[in-house]
Amino acid sequence: MRVLIIEDDHETASFLKKSLKENGHIANIANDGELGLQLARDENFDVLIVDRMLPKLDGLSAISTLRAEGDQTPVLILSALGDVDDRVTGLRAGGDDYLTKPYAYSELLARIEALARRSQPEESETRFVVGDLVLDRLSHKVTRSDETIVLQPREFRLLEYLMKNAGQVVTRTMLLESVWDYHFDPQTNVIDVHISRLRSKIDRNYEVPLLHTVRGAGYVIRDSDL
Amino acid sequence: MTAISKALGTAAFRLTLVYLLIFMIIAGAVIGYMFWRTNNLLTEQVMQTVGAEVKGLREQFSVGGVALLEQTVERRALRPGNNLYLLTNSQGVRLAGNLNRVPPRLVEKPSGGVFEYTRLGYEGAQRRMAVGSVLGVSGGALLIVARDIEDQRNFTSGSRRIFLWSFALLALVGVGGGVMISRHILARIEKVNETAQTIISGDFSGRIPITGADDELDRLSESLNRMLTRIEQLMSGLKEVSDNIAHDLKTPLSRMRNRVEGALREGGGEDDYREVLERTIEESDELIKTFNALLSIARLEAGAVGKSFQSVSLSDILRDVGELYEPLVDDGGMKLQLHVEDGVQILGDRQLLGQAMANLFENALKYGVSGGCPDKKGQSMIADISVKLDVVNSEARISVSDRGPGIPEGDRARALKRFVRLEDSRSQPGSGLGLSLVAAVARLHGGDVVLEDARPGLRVVLSFPIEDKSAHS
């Protein structure tokens, strides 16, 4: 995955670049808005990471310029401003996701990977398959080894989101955002409890576990054989 | 003196002057016109009387000739009053009448007009004004009939003088009144100024005195006072935040720093370092959460967020959040009871309201206890956490009750403040910001929070004004 980091803080930018490299991604850095816009126009990236407050051209203007030019590269906005209103303006300017500073690297990684995936035209897929687990989005049916698993509506959406991002780590806040549409940071382990309920339904009676906990990051659903 | 000169320089005084000037110009024009018209009218009236008399005398002449005319004129001239007559022959010699000569002005203008005269036998006395006309009698003889208008003139000029004096008096009173009004207003504005000065010098308790006149200045003062109160609240909020930061953020920061420093000093293996680093990340995450919560509360209280409220369903939000927390309540061995009235709409922000409700659930989870007592009939257990939404007196009320130790009445107001963690809860994890965020969200939505005794336990009651559908097109 090719990532463009538009961030004026050198240390943050090089930390991100190094970390992304460790995860097998290639990152370029632009230290101001104008350079960032230039690079985004000239080269092809899978994801842009854009800081909101930048010298020369602020992040939101850069994003809306790109969008106006028809560039649809997914954008993750990084910002120190984390209020509901700031978030709304960020997404309205054309950002696809919004992360408030300071953040955990694992959160950022999970989000850009999800963004890069989202840009591929899989949204219209009606069936998700992970190992012998099958989720049908039309009939709302879930089967494992051809046995029907009955899920609550919310559990279905949880599993749907995990399977859509199969093989990718999704964080707790990503789950809270996409399944419940709330953006706050829960102080307790609410999401973990929902996951463990889901897990008891899809994994408990089967030999191979599919839903895994990634320590310090979140969850991933994948076929262990891979 | 300086007070007067100050008053002279005020806008109020200038306005008074301008008003007075305009008033006097208009009044002067109206009164001047009135004088002119009255004078003309009086002169015309005199001319008409004179005309009538001339007509009568002409009849005398046609009946009895010059002789009868002379006789009549002589008789009439002897009557006291303002009537003036003169009959001359063709040589201009006086035959009868009480005028001493033919007034030259009248000869030039035979149709009649104003002229000066002297009465026969009063030569050397002051000349007087009269109005009259000339009538040519047969053979070059002239008959002059006139009326004295000196008294009328005197009356007019007398009243003109009175008017002028009144004008002068009016101007004087006007200017004086202007000065007085200006000084009065100036004194009140000076009070506003004094208050502003006290505040500039740092004392925020100063307020502008209200005179009780309930006029526009009082209303202005009231608005300014309300503004000052609001600013004072914001300032004290800001001060509180910085105090809080100093205490509740610096303490964990220095703890973190000490730990890292200790690890560096003591050395140790990679595992030791790793452990210290992991704990440092955990602790910094906690700090970030606290910091975020603190910032949100400060911005909520400053009214800096939520400008774009929309119609949201409180029922849906409460059900969503209830569903989110239910498994956690279950896992804690507690029982959750949710009574939600349908279709309760308010104007608000879904995210903020959701977070506030999540905080209430988390609080109830944290401080509530499981295994509550059986109800009176001993049949079923009373719910450990009971959540209710209903509409009372056009207010949406959310109450969240737990069966925990509750909060003593004296501590309830304090519990809504930032970072206040009551003694009993010190051992529990948490930032002490949960309830104050709830309170800030409620206030931003025009609502309120009340802590009550759930006997046993704590009941938090949030109230919001429900959306006025009629005001919403």
H/E stretch holding B348 reads strand B345-348
pLDDT above 70 for A159: yes
A38/chain B closest Cα distance in angstroms = 34
Beta-carbon separation of B325 and A190 below 8 A: yes
DSSP code, position B273: H
The pLDDT tens digits for B157-202 are 888 888 888 888 888 888 888 888 888 888 888 888 888 888 888 8
Q: Which of B322, B364, B320, B336 is nearest to B459 (CA)?
A: B364
Q: What is the pLDDT of residue B91?
A: 79
Q: Do A182 and B355 touch (CB under 8 A)?
A: yes
Is residue B321 a contact partner of residue B284, using CB atoms and an 8 Å limit?
no
Q: Which residue has the higher pLDDT, B298 or A190?
A: A190
Distance CA B329, CA B336 (A): 7
Average pLDDT over every residue of A176-193: 84
The answer to whether the CB atoms of B358 and A182 lie below 8 A apart is: yes
Partners of residue A87 on adjacent β-strands: none
- Whether residues B305 and A85 touch (CB distance < 8 A) is answered with yes
Give the Cα separation of B184 and B169 in Å (integer). Answer: 22
Give the DSSP letter of residue A149: E
Side by side, which strands form the sheet with A26-30?
A: A26-30, A2-6, A47-51, A75-79, A97-100
* Phi/psi of residue A204, nearest 5 degrees: -55, -45
By Cβ distance, the residue of B321, B323, B328 closest to A188 is B328
Are the Cβ atoms of B292 and A104 closer than 8 angstroms?
no
Residues 6+ apart with CB under 8 A from B375: B381, B382
**Of residues B321, B351, B434, nearest to A183 (C-beta):** B351
- Is the minimum CB–CB distance between B285 and chain A shorter than 8 Å? yes
What band does A100 get if pLDDT is binned at 50, 70 and 90?
confident
pLDDT score, position B425: 47
Q: Residue B379: its pLDDT value, please?
A: 44
Quick one: how many helices (H) and strands (E) in chain A? 8, 12
User: DSSP secondary-structure letter at B374?
Assistant: B
- What is the value of pTM for the model shown? 0.63
One pLDDT digit (tens) per residue for chain B, 473 residues: 566 677 677 777 788 788 888 888 888 898 889 888 888 888 888 888 888 888 888 888 888 888 888 888 888 888 877 888 888 887 778 888 888 777 777 777 767 778 888 777 777 777 788 888 887 777 777 888 888 888 888 888 888 888 888 888 888 888 888 888 888 888 888 888 888 888 888 887 888 888 887 888 888 888 988 888 888 887 877 777 777 677 777 878 888 888 888 888 887 788 888 888 888 888 888 888 778 777 777 777 777 665 677 888 889 999 989 988 888 888 878 888 888 888 888 888 888 888 889 888 888 888 777 655 544 444 445 667 888 888 888 888 998 888 877 777 777 776 676 655 554 444 455 556 778 888 888 888 888 888 887 777 888 898 888 876 554 43
Q: What is the pLDDT of residue A76?
A: 92
The mean pLDDT of chain A is 85
Q: Is the ipTM of this complex over 0.85?
A: no
The minimal CB distance from B358 to the residues A82, A88, A186 is found for A186
Q: Is A101 on the interface with B (CB under 8 A)?
A: no
Residues of chain A by 3-state class (helix, strand, coil), percent to 5:
40, 20, 40
Task: List, in order, residues 6 or more apart from A80 with CB less than 8 Å away.
Answer: A52, A53, A100, A101
Q: Which of A106-110, A164-168, B234-238 has the lowest mean pLDDT?
A: B234-238
**Could you tell me if B301 lies within 8 Å of chain A, comparing CB atoms?**
no
SS3 B390: strand
| Structure tokens belonging to residue B189 | 């504005």
Task: State yes or no: pLDDT of A226 exceeds 60.
Answer: no
B448: nearest Cα among B438, B456, B458, B459: B438
3 state DSSP class of A51: strand
pLDDT computed for residue B2 by the predictor: 65
Q: Supply the angle between the helices A59-68 and A33-42 in degrees, to the nearest 10.
A: 30
% of chain A exceeding 70 in pLDDT: 96
B84 — contact with chain A (CB < 8 Å)?
no
Nearest neighbour of A182 by CB, restricted to B288, B308, B354: B354
* Residues of chain A found within 8 Å of residue B288, distances taken between Cβ atoms: 102
Contact A84 B430 (CB under 8 A): no
User: Which residues fall within 8 angstroms of residue A195, CB to CB, at 6 or more apart?
Assistant: A158, A175, A211, A213, A219
CB within 8 Å: B362 and A184? no
* CB-CB neighbors (< 8 A) of A190 in chain B: 324-325, 327-328
Can you list the domains of chain A with their CATH numbers?
Answer: 2-118 (3.40.50.2300), 127-221 (1.10.10.10)
